Amino acid sequence: NAGVMQNPRHLVRRRGQEARLRCSPMKGHSHVYWYRQLPEEGLKFMVYLQKENIIDESGMPKERFSAEFPKEGPSILRIQQVVRGDSAAYFCASSPARAYEQYFGPGTRLTVT
Amino acid sequence: AQSVAQPEDQVNVAEGNPLTVKCTYSVSGNPYLFWYVQYPNRGLQFLLKYITGDNLVKGSYGFEAEFNKSQTSFHLKKPSALVSDSALYFCAVREQGNDYKLSFGAGTTVTVRA
């Protein structure tokens, strides 16, 4: 049983470009969560999605960030017009239902130059 | 609001010695507490959780954690550390009634020397 998959593992973008981060949850999991880890900090909740629905995006910056989890395919975290402060590790987690343990992917390390 | 503190950035122990990684939490109601471990270039792996019941929780790889409500702590322990336990450890909490949003500590780097 494959775990949570994230790609790319490393992403380098210049300021102003777009970053697209993908997350494929574990088989049978329909709940996806995105967290961001800034240097020297713990993971911070960004958004919680179920298939085709955003349940809670209270941790997402109001501008430039968006997330989706379509009926088919992976969940996507999209960052438009990236800035240096967006450089971080972005982790995706999934669970079979709310209130269950979250299983984390290996993360995508975004570097903005 | 819920939050977690891991007061030690680093813990260094010799192989075979006991290992303790400290965690304190703050929540409005009853806490659900978790420990995760992160190896280099890997995702976070779930170690154990406290929801209710016995204050001593046993988890994967010989780890255990003790919930102490009066001290609002949830320290991770292993009686005899291995070199392979060297990794980054995260404590996380969520409040009862919040069934998905985890709050993480900043992490503690454990180094076990041979």
Q: How far is A83 from chain B (nearest CA, A)?
A: 23
Mutate to test the interface with A, among B49, B57, B100 (most CBs of A within 10 A): B100
Return phi, psi of residue B43, to 5°.
-75, 175
Cβ of A56 within 8 Å of Cβ of B34? The answer is no
Mean pLDDT of A75-85: 97
Residue-by-residue pLDDT tens, chain B, 114 positions: 889 999 999 999 999 999 999 999 999 888 999 999 998 877 889 999 998 888 999 999 999 999 999 999 999 999 999 999 999 999 999 887 788 899 999 999 999 999
Kindly list the residues from chain B whose CB atom is less than 8 angstroms away from the CB atom of residue A99. Answer: 99-100
Averaged pLDDT of chain A: 93
User: Which residue on chain A is closest to B6 by alpha carbon?
Assistant: A42
Cβ of B105 within 8 Å of Cβ of A4? The answer is no
Per-residue confidence band for A73, with pLDDT thresholds at 50, 70 and 90 = very high
Task: Scan for tokens 């130059």, then name that residue.
Answer: A113
Task: For chain B, list residues whose CB is within 8 angstroms of any CB belonging to chain A.
Answer: 4, 6, 34, 36, 41-46, 49, 90, 92, 99-107
Residue A2's pLDDT is what? 72
Residue A23's pLDDT is what? 97
How many CB atoms sit inside 10 A of residue A108's CB? Answer: 22
Per-residue confidence band for A111, with pLDDT thresholds at 50, 70 and 90 = very high
Residue B57's pLDDT is what? 95
Residue A1's pLDDT is what? 54
Q: Which residues of B9-32 are buried (b: 16+ CB within 10 A; e: fewer)?
A: eebebeeeeebebbbbbebeeebb
d(CA B4, CA B11): 18
CB nearest to B100's CB, from A4, A9, A48: A48
Mean pLDDT of A29-53: 91
